Protein backbone atom coordinates (compact mmCIF):
# COMPACT_ATOMS: atom_id res chain seq x y z
CA UNK A 1 0.00 0.00 0.00
CA UNK A 2 1.09 3.58 -0.65
CA UNK A 3 1.55 5.43 2.64
CA UNK A 4 0.98 9.18 2.76
CA UNK A 5 2.43 11.25 5.57
CA UNK A 6 1.54 14.87 6.26
CA UNK A 7 3.30 17.59 8.18
CA UNK A 8 2.54 19.37 10.30
CA UNK A 9 -0.41 17.52 11.82
CA UNK A 10 -1.72 20.75 13.27
CA UNK A 11 -1.31 24.35 12.30
CA UNK A 12 -2.27 27.56 14.09
CA UNK A 13 -2.21 30.54 11.75
CA UNK A 14 -2.97 34.24 12.13
CA UNK A 15 -5.63 35.57 9.77
CA UNK A 16 -4.05 36.90 6.60
CA UNK A 17 -0.84 34.94 7.07
CA UNK A 18 0.30 32.12 4.78
CA UNK A 19 0.14 28.41 5.55
CA UNK A 20 1.80 25.41 3.99
CA UNK A 21 1.14 21.68 4.35
CA UNK A 22 3.38 18.90 3.13
CA UNK A 23 2.30 15.48 1.89
CA UNK A 24 4.92 12.81 1.24
CA UNK A 25 4.29 9.49 -0.45
CA UNK A 26 6.07 6.19 0.11
CA UNK A 27 6.10 5.68 -3.68
CA UNK A 28 6.09 7.89 -6.74
CA UNK A 29 2.58 8.98 -7.69
CA UNK A 30 3.40 9.56 -11.36
CA UNK A 31 0.87 7.80 -13.56
CA UNK A 32 1.91 6.38 -16.92
CA UNK A 33 0.08 9.32 -18.47
CA UNK A 34 2.58 11.65 -16.81
CA UNK A 35 0.20 13.12 -14.25
CA UNK A 36 0.64 12.77 -10.50
CA UNK A 37 -2.44 11.19 -8.92
CA UNK A 38 -2.53 13.36 -5.81
CA UNK A 39 -5.48 15.44 -4.63
CA UNK A 40 -6.07 17.76 -1.68
CA UNK A 41 -9.29 17.97 0.30
CA UNK A 42 -10.62 20.13 3.11
CA UNK A 43 -13.06 18.74 5.64
CA UNK A 44 -14.75 21.57 7.49
CA UNK A 45 -16.23 20.80 10.91
CA UNK A 46 -19.33 18.62 10.59
CA UNK A 47 -19.12 18.46 6.79
CA UNK A 48 -18.11 16.01 4.09
CA UNK A 49 -14.70 16.54 2.52
CA UNK A 50 -14.56 18.96 -0.40
CA UNK A 51 -12.09 18.85 -3.25
CA UNK A 52 -9.61 21.72 -3.30
CA UNK A 53 -6.86 20.63 -5.67
CA UNK A 54 -6.72 17.72 -8.13
CA UNK A 55 -3.75 16.25 -9.94
CA UNK A 56 -1.35 18.18 -7.69
CA UNK A 57 -1.96 21.70 -8.90
CA UNK A 58 -5.41 22.14 -10.44
CA UNK A 59 -7.94 24.10 -8.38
CA UNK A 60 -11.40 22.62 -8.29
CA UNK A 61 -14.32 24.69 -9.41
CA UNK A 62 -15.12 27.50 -6.99
CA UNK A 63 -11.92 27.16 -4.97
CA UNK A 64 -10.35 30.56 -4.22
CA UNK A 65 -7.02 31.31 -5.89
CA UNK A 66 -5.34 31.70 -2.50
CA UNK A 67 -5.10 27.89 -2.58
CA UNK A 68 -2.38 26.33 -4.69
CA UNK A 69 -0.69 22.97 -4.98
CA UNK A 70 2.74 21.91 -6.15
CA UNK A 71 5.10 18.97 -6.25
CA UNK A 72 5.83 15.82 -8.14
CA UNK A 73 6.83 12.23 -7.54
CA UNK A 74 6.76 11.76 -3.78
CA UNK A 75 6.73 15.30 -2.35
CA UNK A 76 3.73 17.60 -2.53
CA UNK A 77 2.68 20.88 -0.94
CA UNK A 78 -0.57 22.72 -0.40
CA UNK A 79 -0.17 26.44 0.12
CA UNK A 80 -2.67 29.02 1.31
CA UNK A 81 -1.35 32.52 0.58
CA UNK A 82 -3.58 34.34 3.09
CA UNK A 83 -5.56 32.30 5.56
CA UNK A 84 -9.17 33.29 6.11
CA UNK A 85 -11.55 32.25 8.87
CA UNK A 86 -13.48 29.93 6.53
CA UNK A 87 -10.31 27.88 5.91
CA UNK A 88 -10.55 26.21 9.32
CA UNK A 89 -10.79 22.43 9.20
CA UNK A 90 -8.77 19.33 8.42
CA UNK A 91 -6.76 19.15 5.21
CA UNK A 92 -5.78 15.80 3.79
CA UNK A 93 -4.11 14.46 0.70
CA UNK A 94 -5.31 11.44 -1.20
CA UNK A 95 -3.58 9.24 -3.77
CA UNK A 96 -5.52 7.43 -6.47
CA UNK A 97 -2.60 6.05 -8.47
CA UNK A 98 -3.38 2.55 -7.31
CA UNK A 99 -5.78 0.71 -5.09
CA UNK A 100 -6.06 0.63 -2.20
CA UNK A 101 -6.63 4.37 -2.45
CA UNK A 102 -5.01 5.93 0.59
CA UNK A 103 -5.22 9.16 2.53
CA UNK A 104 -2.87 11.23 4.60
CA UNK A 105 -3.67 11.45 8.33
CA UNK A 106 -4.87 15.03 7.99
CA UNK A 107 -3.62 18.44 9.11
CA UNK A 108 -5.85 20.43 11.41
CA UNK A 109 -5.77 24.16 10.72
CA UNK A 110 -6.99 26.61 13.32
CA UNK A 111 -6.91 30.36 13.59
CA UNK A 112 -4.49 31.78 16.13
Please count the other Cβ atoms lying within 10 Å of the Cβ belonging to residue 107. 23
β-pairing verdict for 4-7 and 19-25:
antiparallel
- Residue 47 beta carbon to another protein: minimum distance, rounded to whole angstroms: 9
Residues binding another protein (CB under 8 A): 39, 41, 48-51, 54, 60, 92, 94, 96, 99-106
Q: Cβ closer to another protein: 48 or 85?
A: 48
Q: Cβ closer to another protein: 9 or 15?
A: 9
Closest among 77, 81, 94 to 13, alpha carbons compared: 81
Amino acid sequence: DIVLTQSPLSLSVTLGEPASISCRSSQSLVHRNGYNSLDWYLQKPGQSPQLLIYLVSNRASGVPDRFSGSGSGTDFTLTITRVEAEDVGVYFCMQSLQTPITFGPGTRLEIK
